């Protein structure tokens, strides 16, 4: 299976091969600010299954709640953030699930940072108050 994720203007395109290792929804305030929406959905793919096929990206790096950096790659033209590289999961790349514009994209298996989620959101997902994912060992 091959899927393409693209930014809002369509210039930046990623090709993702195979199924995502994990799909996770995040309610945290950082994701809210990044997306302008009330939560983000990340599709994590093994690094070697993701390739940029068109366009140029710029990266913005910030520490995540875990204290390890995450670099967000966004389109130079329209500013959509399309993928991110979490230092604590160096074998994975997170891709913005909405960028696939695919109604049949696999559903998230969990929601994290529900403690920062909006009270009226009631999603049919296992919810974690924070992020329970274990970090990869430090390099
Ligand atoms: Zn764009
Ligand atoms: Zn988040």
Architecture of domain 2-127: Alpha-Beta Complex (3.90)
| Domain spans, the chain | 2-127
**33, 132 Cβ separation under 8 angstroms:** no
Ligand nearest to the CA of 70: 2
What is the residue-level pLDDT of the chain in tens, covering all 139 positions? 999 999 999 999 999 999 999 999 999 999 999 999 999 999 999 999 999 999 999 999 999 877 899 999 999 999 999 999 999 999 999 999 999 999 999 999 999 999 999 999 999 999 999 988 665 554 4
Q: Parallel, antiparallel, or unpaired for β 2-6 and 13-17?
A: antiparallel
CA of 82 to the centre of ligand 1 (A): 9
* Number of the ligand closest to the Cα of 11: 1
Angstrom distance (rounded) from CA 38 to CA 14: 24
Give the separation between CA 62 and CA 43, rounded to whole angstroms. 19
pTM: 0.92
Nearest ligand by distance to the CA of 113: 2
Phi, psi of 121 (to 5 degrees): -75, 120
Rounded distance from Cα 31 to ligand 1 centre (Å): 19
């Amino acid at each position: 299976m091959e899927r393409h994720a693209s930014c809002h203007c369509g210039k930046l395109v990623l090709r993702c091969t195979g199924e995502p290792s994990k799909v996770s929804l995040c309610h945290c305030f950082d994701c809210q600010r990044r997306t302008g929406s009330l939560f983000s959905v990340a599709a994590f793919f093994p690094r070697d299954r993701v390739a940029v096929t068109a366009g140029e990206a710029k990266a913005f790096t910030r520490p995540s709640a875990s204290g390890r950096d995450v670099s967000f790659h966004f389109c130079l033209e329209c500013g959509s953030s399309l993928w991110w590289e979490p230092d604590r999961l160096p074998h994975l790349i997170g891709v913005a699930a909405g960028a696939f514009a695919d109604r049949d994209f696999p559903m998230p298996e969990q929601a994290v940072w529900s403690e920062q989620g909006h009270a009226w959101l009631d999603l049919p997902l296992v919810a974690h108050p924070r992020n329970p994912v274990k970090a990869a060992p430090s390099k």
